[in-house]
Every structure is written in C-alpha cells, then in structure tokens.
Amino acid sequence: MLALDLARDVEGSLRVLCLGAHSDDIEIGCGGTILQLVSACPQAVFHWVVFSADPEREREARHSAGLFLQSQCRHQVVVKRFRDGFFPYVGAEIKEYFEVLKHAVSPDVIFTHYRGDRHQDHRLLSELTWNTFRDHLILEYELPKYDGDLGSPNCYVPLDDTVCQLKTEYLTAAFKSQLGKRWFSSDTFRGLMRLRGIEAAAPAGYAEAFYAHKLVVSPNHRDSS
C-alpha cells in the first residue's frame, strides 16, 4: 500500500485547515491525526474553525484545541455562533463565511465532515468545503453516532497506542458537558479506531479513516538534496 507522507511531501510549513460543525467534531473525527501532524511537523500552521457553540461549548472547544494543538504549534482557533441543527436554513450566512475563509487561508490539507453524514449541519459544511476549496487536498472524517451512517472509507492514518490514549483522554477532559451522552465514551472512540486499524493493517492496530474523493498523483520525482 502506497503512503502519502504530508510531513515529507509539503515544502515549507504545512498549512492545515480543520472544520467542524460542533465543538467536538474535529477532535473525534481526526484528533489522532492532528496529534501526529503536530508531532511530525512542528512548524505546521493550523487554522481551526468551529461553526456552532454556546458559551460553555466554546470554552470547551478552545480548551480542547489547546490540548490537541499544544502551545508550540502555530494556530488560530475561531468559534462561530451559527444555530446548532439549523445550518441548511442559514446556509447563505455560512457560505459567506466560507468566502472569507477562502481569502484568509491557503491550506495544504483540509479536514472536514463526510459528505454522506446524515446530520444536516455536517453535510452542509462538507458541501461548502468542496464548493469553496476546489484545488486542495480534502479529507472527510467520520463521526460515530445514533444515525448509523458509517461507510467504507478509502484513506487511513495509522495511529500508535499512545496517540489513541491521548486522543481519548483529551476528549473526556475537555468536553465535560458531553460525558452524559451514551455514545460519548473512550470505548466508542477507541473501538472505531481499532476497527479502522484492522482495515488499514496498521502496525499498532489503530487508525483514523477518511474519505478522499479526489487525489492528484504526480509521477515526477522531486530531488530533496
């Protein structure tokens, strides 16, 4: 299986755009991958956008972003106040913000929601990501939930046990308001990473999975000397 090494293949500082409809979406969907990128690319620049949060959830989102991105990593965290559950009905306002993002950020890779997600807020963000950033590497992350909409991803990031442990610890430490929900547990998060690790034949048995709908493969060899 061929591997895409973002830490090696990007010239200069890796620029990462993370998009989440709600406060914990980014961390659940790609938190392990973020932790590995921060470790492998200490010069990486992260632009982290949460589109819906009340004051309590905003505090949690900023706390969590600080844990995952760490102090030595250059990052900007933006938390918006679009109404939870109503994104399609305020879509024009959200699209206007995407236009602002397009001129403010030029990312090497974008993490966003899976386009087949049954949550209306998630689907809209995914659609607007593709509508706005048309010449970028976009990786769609998945979220376990009641809807049962997990699919068959085609892109995997192997994780080691330490990263899995940190991801689950940070999630439960940052998002206290969610601990009463049946699905929000370390077992859920670790179980999905274990399943995807089996599919990816990951050395440590864990992985996060993504949908990469469009990739450009260049056969040109770049001399790194």
Residue 131's domain is classified under what CATH number? 3.40.50.10320
Mean pLDDT (whole number) for 12-33: 96
| Number of independent structural domains in the chain | 1
Under 8 Å between Cβ of 82 and 111? no
Mean pLDDT (whole number) for 175-185: 95
Asked if residue 218 belongs to a domain, the reply is no
Q: What is the pLDDT of residue 82?
A: 98
Q: What is the pLDDT of residue 168?
A: 98
Q: What is the pLDDT of residue 221?
A: 57
- Starting at the edge strand that comes first in sequence, how are the strands of the sheet with 137-141 ordered? 74-79, 45-50, 15-20, 109-113, 137-141, 206-211, 155-159
pLDDT in tens, 58-111: 999 999 999 999 876 899 999 999 999 999 999 999 999 999 999 999 999 999
Rounded to the nearest integer, the mean pLDDT of the chain is 93
- Indicate whether 225 pLDDT > 70: no
Which phi and psi (to 5°) does residue 174 adopt? -85, -40
- Indicate whether 224 pLDDT > 70: no
pLDDT in tens, 199-210: 999 999 999 999
Under 8 Å between Cβ of 60 and 176? yes
**Closest of 143, 112, 94, 95 to residue 20, by C-alpha:** 112
pLDDT in tens, 114-171: 999 999 999 999 999 999 999 999 999 999 999 999 999 999 999 999 999 999 999 9
Asked if residue 56 belongs to a domain, the reply is yes
Asked if residue 133 belongs to a domain, the reply is yes
CA distance 177 to 160: 28
CA distance 186 to 222: 42
Asked if residue 28 belongs to a domain, the reply is yes
CA distance 18 to 32: 13
Rounded percentage of the chain residues whose pLDDT exceeds 90 = 86
Asked if residue 216 belongs to a domain, the reply is no
- pTM to 2 decimal places: 0.93
Element (H, E) at 6: helix 6-9
Mean pLDDT (whole number) for 26-44: 95
Asked if residue 220 belongs to a domain, the reply is no
CA distance 153 to 134: 21
Asked if residue 221 belongs to a domain, the reply is no
Asked if residue 1 belongs to a domain, the reply is no
The boundaries of the domain holding residue 143 are 14-211
* Three-state SS letters, 10-63: CCCCCEEEEEECCCCHHHHHHHHHHHHHHHHCCCCEEEEEECCCCHHHHHHHHH
Under 8 Å between Cβ of 30 and 141? yes
